[in-house]
C-alpha cells in the first residue's frame, strides 16, 4: 500500500487509515482484532482512535476502543510497526470523561488527564499523533466548514488556543506525544495554530481530520490550499458519509444492524438534496464497474491534499470493499464525472 508523509514529520503512514470507532459497541474485541489483522495484511500501518470511542458515546463504553487496540498490540507484538493516533475531546457537556465529573475543556488539567488516560488504555508510552477532536470555542458546526455562516454564541470560559498550545508543547517535550493534529477545525483555527507554531509557541500541526466525501467537499473551499502549502494534510473521515454512499439506505431502506437502525444518528447525511446526490454517485460507481463503497473511497484517496482516508466497517465484507480502493486507478474520466455531479448537487451534507 502507498504511504505518504504525515505533514512535515518523519512519519510515513498508509494512505488508508483504519478507523476504530465501532470497536466496543458494534464490534466485539475478537471482531476488532480480525479487522486489525486484515488491515495490516493489506499494508495499513495507521490506526485512528479517540478517548470518546466507541460511538455512540456513553459512560459505560467510553475508552473501550483504545483498550481493544491495546490487547491487539500486546497479542501481535507490533507496536513499533504501527502509527497510533487518538484524540482528546473538546468542549463538552458530557461529564463522564473526567474523574471529577466536570465538563471537559481544552485546558491543562483536562488535556493532561485525557492523554494519561489514553496512554494507559492503549498500553503504550507515547502517542504518535494526538489530535484535538473538536475546538474548545463554539463553532458554526461540528465540521467547522459551514456552507452558510451563522455567528455562534461565544462562551465566557472559552479556553484560548494559546493555552491549549502550551500544554501540547509540554506533552511533546515530555515524550507523551510525538506529533499533534487537529480535527473538525476551520481554516481560521488551522492558521491560528500554524501562526503559533511559527512563533515557537505550539507544536506544528501535522494533520487535520475533517469530514470529506462526495456529499461534502467543503474542505476544498478554503482548507485544501492550507493542506498543500502548509503540509497539514487531510485525514478524511466519513469517506462513505456514514454508509450512505454505499447505497444501502436508498429508497428509505433500513438494513438490520446498520448504524441508522441501531442508533438513528445519521441526520448529518439526511439533509435536503442528499438522497438525489447519493443516487447519482451510486449510479456513477456502477457505470465504472465498481462497488459504490470502493468508488467513494477511491475518490477521496485520489485528491492531492489528502494524507489518508479513514475507513470504518462493522463486517469483514465491508472492510474489504473499502480496502479495495487502494487498487483503483482513479482516472481523469472518473474525476470529470464526479465533478459533473458535484456541479449539479453541490455539498448537501456539510
- Quick one: the chain helix, strand, coil %, rounded to 5? 40, 15, 45
Whether the Cβ atoms of residue 319 and residue 35 lie closer than 8 Å to each other: yes
Give the separation between CA 223 and CA 186, rounded to whole angstroms: 8
**337/331 Cα distance (integer angstroms):** 10
The answer to the question of residue 309 being in a domain is yes
How many domains does the chain contain in total? 1
- pLDDT, residue 240, reads 98
Within a domain: residue 66? yes
H or E element, residue 83: strand 83-88
* 1 has pLDDT over 90: yes
Integer Cα distance of 232 and 72 in angstroms: 29
CA 5 to chain CA centroid, Å, is 17
Residues catalogued as catalytic:
53
Residue 139 domain-assigned (yes or no) = yes
Helical ranges in 42-77 per DSSP H: 64-76
**Contacts of 303 by beta carbon, 8 Å cutoff, 6+ apart:** 212, 224, 234
Residues 296 and 290: their CA atoms lie apart, in Å, by: 9
> CATH number, domain at 27?
3.20.20.100
Give 121-151 pLDDT, tens digit per residue. 999 999 999 999 999 999 887 766 778 888 8
Q: 75-85, pLDDT tens digit by residue?
A: 999 999 999 99
Bridge partners of residue 27, in order along the sequence = 23
**Residue 24 confidence class, pLDDT cut points 50, 70, 90:** very high
Q: Where are the alpha helices (DSSP H) in the chain?
A: 29-41, 64-76, 108-122, 161-173, 187-198, 219-230, 259-263, 274-287, 292-301, 316-323, 332-345
Query: Rounded to two decimals, what is the model's pTM?
Result: 0.97
pLDDT of residue 40: 98
- Omega before 56 within 30 of 0, i.e. cis: yes
| Residue 276 resides in a domain | yes
Q: Is residue 305 part of a domain?
A: yes
Whether 274 and 238 have beta carbons less than 8 Å apart is answered as: no
Query: For 334-338, what is the mean pLDDT?
Result: 98
Give 36-67 pLDDT, tens digit per residue: 999 999 999 999 999 999 999 999 999 999 99
Percent share of the chain, pLDDT over 90: 93
**266 domain-assigned:** yes
Domain presence at residue 22: yes
Residue 223 pLDDT more than 90? Answer: yes
Asked if the structure places residue 350 within a domain, the reply is no
CA dist list (Å): 103 to 97, 100, 197: 8, 9, 28
- Give tens-digit pLDDT for 100-115: 999 999 999 999 999 9
Domain that holds residue 243: 3-345
Amino acid at each position: 500500500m502507498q504511504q505518504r508523509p504525515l505533514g512535515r514529520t518523519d512519519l510515513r503512514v498508509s494512505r488508508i487509515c483504519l478507523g476504530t470507532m465501532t470497536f466496543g459497541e458494534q464490534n466485539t474485541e475478537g471482531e476488532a482484532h480480525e479487522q486489525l489483522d486484515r488491515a495490516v495484511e493489506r499494508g495499513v500501518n495507521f490506526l485512528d482512535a479517540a478517548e470518546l470511542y466507541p460511538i455512540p458515546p456513553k459512560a459505560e463504553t467510553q475508552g473501550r476502543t483504545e483498550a481493544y487496540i491495546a490487547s491487539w498490540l500486546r497479542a501481535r507484538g507490533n507496536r513499533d510497526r504501527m502509527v497510533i493516533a487518538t484524540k482528546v475531546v473538546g468542549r463538552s457537556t458530557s461529564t463522564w470523561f473526567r474523574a471529577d465529573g466536570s465538563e471537559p475543556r481544552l485546558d491543562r488539567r483536562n488535556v493532561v488527564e485525557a492523554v494519561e488516560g489514553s496512554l494507559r488504555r492503549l498500553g503504550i508510552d507515547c502517542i504518535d499523533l494526538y489530535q484535538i477532536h473538536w475546538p474548545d470555542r463554539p463553532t458554526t458546526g461540528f465540521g467547522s466548514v459551514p456552507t452558510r455562516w451563522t455567528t455562534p454564541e461565544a462562551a465566557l470560559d472559552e479556553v484560548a488556543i494559546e493555552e491549549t498550545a502550551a500544554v501540547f508543547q509540554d506533552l511533546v517535550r515530555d515524550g507523551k506525544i510525538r506529533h499533534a493534529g487537529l480535527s473538525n477545525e476551520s481554516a481560521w483555527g488551522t492558521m491560528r495554530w500554524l501562526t503559533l507554531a511559527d512563533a515557537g509557541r505550539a507544536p506544528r500541526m501535522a494533520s487535520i481530520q475533517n469530514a470529506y466525501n462526495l456529499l461534502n467537499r467543503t474542505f476544498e473551499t478554503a482548507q485544501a490550499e492550507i493542506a498543500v502549502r502548509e503540509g497539514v494534510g487531510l485525514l478524511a473521515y466519513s469517506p462513505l458519509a456514514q454508509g450512505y454512499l454505499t447505497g444501502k439506505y436508498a429508497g428509505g431502506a433500513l438494513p438490520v444492524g446498520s448504524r441508522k437502525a441501531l442508533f438513528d444518528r445519521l441526520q448529518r447525511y439526511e439533509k435536503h438534496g442528499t438522497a438525489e446526490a447519493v443516487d447519482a454517485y451510486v449510479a456513477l460507481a456502477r457505470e465504472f464497474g465498481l462497488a459504490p463503497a470502493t468508488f467513494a473511497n477511491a475518490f477521496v484517496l485520489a485528491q492531492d491534499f489528502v494524507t489518508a482516508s479513514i475507513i470504518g466497517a462493522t463486517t469483514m465484507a465491508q472492510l474489504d470493499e473499502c480496502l479495495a480502493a487502494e487498487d483503483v486507478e482513479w482516472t481523469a474520466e472518473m474525476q470529470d464525472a464526479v465533478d459533473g455531479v458535484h456541479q449539479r448537487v453541490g455539498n448537501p451534507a456539510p
